[in-house]
Amino acid sequence: MSEAYVITGGQPLRGEVHVSGATKNSALKLLAGALLAPGTTTVHRIADIKDMRWFGEVLERLGVRVDWEPGVVRVTVPEMLGYEAPYDLVSKMRASTAVLGPLLARMGRAKVALPGGDFLGPRPIDLHLRGLEQMGADIKVVHGFVEASCDRLKGTRITVMSNEYPSVGATETLMLAAVLADGRTVIDNAAREPEIVDLATFLQKMGAKIDGAGTHTIEIEGVDELRPVEYDVMPDRLEAATYLFATATTGGEVTVRDMRPRHLDIVLETLEQAGRTLEIGDDWVRITAEGRPMAVDISTLPYPGFATDLLPMATTMLALADGTSIVTENIYDSRYFHVDELARMGANVRVERHYCVVRGVHELTGAEVRASDVSAGAALVIAGLVARGRTQVADIIHIDRRYENLEGKLSSLGADVQRVGAPVPA
């Protein structure tokens, strides 16, 4: 059985907490980019999380040497790489498909298992494959593997859109492929997330020619070779938001440091609308929360909109709000798995297709609940922090996919959170 958190709720959070680097959403793609250049690339501000360890194993299967130090990963990439990312590793995390573009660009060949990861509804990689085909790759899906080959990828114009929204994963895949392609690649309707800009900055430091990252049109002029680099990954905006929502829900006063407030503009606006007081610095935010939050309507959209990954945490805050809130999910089909678990704790939340109605209650009570994915797990931890009595959150392996030592950081703020080896009887 997996590990669990046992939480005794009711204590406001107070103090300071430091945010780790964006390991899950950015650093994994940076290390995929390291495959583009033989030699040793070093990435700093790395959180020791499950996804990074799993991705390290993917790289090792490709012949890469991976060296770990606290906060640092060094990857030494050989002249000749393997080309197969096996199912037993790729099935654990969708980010493993990030090796597809670099392997095609450098080696002209890739065999990558179709991905796994959180179950949030259909998230096919058709856009990744279609874009690579437009660049001249021969793509086949055989026995659960993507088999791709090419002589040299060729620059072209590609539109990246899924369900009317830009695809972050496809944008990253095509960027990683285009930097060594022959000629100019233009990616239209590109994702604008800060992690896309971080990847572009990393690749530029390697010698890539990229313009427009952070806008809807990215232009890339292919080069003949890249060089290994040393790089600091950006702060994890989703981890920073987690501590802000935790404080907004439990009450208290917390300063979140080593973050970029500009990456969370809409989150900060939402917290202020909910009646929370904010002080904002260049790389920190201090949040003060007194009394119940106020009801706020939220609708998820691609960046710079409200991030879908933060919807479960916002729902937990609104479950205790004074009034009724409408929360609308526009990105994924299955983002509401946490709702039934919140209901077990006394929340009044009703799901109707892609939105839910949240009627605030005066308190939540502790219960045994289960994390279904990273964000749902974080939301249930926050619920446990504010609930009366004891809450047990099982399957925290999902939480460990993004957060390093979440229980330690929350405990430093006065929370009563303990990690146990397996769910225990109530």
Phi, psi of 17 (to 5 degrees): -140, 140
Alpha-carbon distances of 345 from 20, 367, 382, 385, 393, rounded to whole Å: 30, 6, 12, 12, 12
Task: Give residue-wise pLDDT tens across range 331-363.
Answer: 877 678 889 999 999 999 999 888 999 999 999
Phi, psi of 255 (to 5 degrees): -105, 120
Alpha-carbon distances of 100 from 6, 19, 138, 208, 253, rounded to whole Å: 40, 30, 13, 18, 44
Pairing assessment for the beta strands 217-221 and 209-211 based on DSSP bridges: antiparallel
Q: Indicate if the pLDDT at residue 94 is higher than 90.
A: no
pLDDT confidence of residue 165: 87
- Mean pLDDT for the stretch of residues 188-197: 97
pLDDT confidence of residue 162: 67
118 is catalytic: yes
- Topology given in CATH for the domain delimited by 4-20+235-420: UDP-n-acetylglucosamine1-carboxyvinyl-transferase; Chain (3.65.10)
Report the chain's mean pLDDT, rounded to a whole number: 93
pLDDT confidence of residue 143: 86
Alpha-carbon span 261 to 264, nearest angstrom = 5
Phi, psi of 154 (to 5 degrees): -120, 135
- Torsion from C-alpha of 168, 171, 176, 180, nearest 10 degrees: -170
**Burial of 124: CB neighbours in 10 Å, binned 0-12, 13-18, 19+:** exposed
Helix axes 374-386, 337-344, angle to 10 degrees: 20
Confidence band of 170 (pLDDT split at 50, 70, 90): very high
Please tell me which residue in 118, 198, 236, 373 is annotated as part of the active site.
Answer: 118
Query: Measured on CA atoms in the order 179, 94, 190, 164, is the torsion positive or negative?
Result: positive
pLDDT confidence of residue 121: 41
- Mean pLDDT for the stretch of residues 213-226: 98
- Mean pLDDT for the stretch of residues 232-236: 98
CA-atom Rg of the chain in angstroms: 21
- Mean pLDDT for the stretch of residues 246-264: 98
Task: Give residue-wise pLDDT tens across range 362-394.
Answer: 999 999 999 999 999 999 999 999 999 999 999
**Of the ranges 37-46, 134-143, 153-162, the best mean pLDDT one:** 37-46
pLDDT confidence of residue 119: 43
Confidence band of 86 (pLDDT split at 50, 70, 90): confident
Q: Indicate if the pLDDT at residue 150 is higher than 80.
A: yes
The correct CATH number of 23-222 out of 3.65.10.10, 3.40.640.10, 3.40.630.30, 3.20.20.210 is 3.65.10.10
> Is-cis flag, bond preceding 304, omega within 30?
yes
Domain ranges of the chain: 4-20+235-420, 23-222
Tokens 């700093």 belong to: 44
Tokens 């793609």 belong to: 29
pLDDT confidence of residue 368: 97
pLDDT confidence of residue 131: 96
Helix axes 237-250, 374-386, angle to 10 degrees: 20
Q: Indicate if the pLDDT at residue 209 is higher than 60.
A: yes
pLDDT confidence of residue 310: 96
- Mean pLDDT for the stretch of residues 1-20: 94
Confidence band of 426 (pLDDT split at 50, 70, 90): very low
Give the rounded distance of the alpha carbon of 108 from its chain centre: 29
pLDDT confidence of residue 351: 92
Q: Which of 8-12, 89-93, 105-109, 387-391 has the lowest mean pLDDT?
A: 89-93
Q: By C-alpha distance, which of 232, 237, 238, 245 is closest to 283?
A: 237
- Mean pLDDT for the stretch of residues 294-305: 96
Instruction: Name every residue whose Cβ is closer than 8 Å to that of residue 273 and which is 6 or more positions away in sequence.
Output: 294, 296
**pTM for this entry:** 0.95
Evaluate whether 62 touches 99 at the Cβ level (below 8 Å): yes
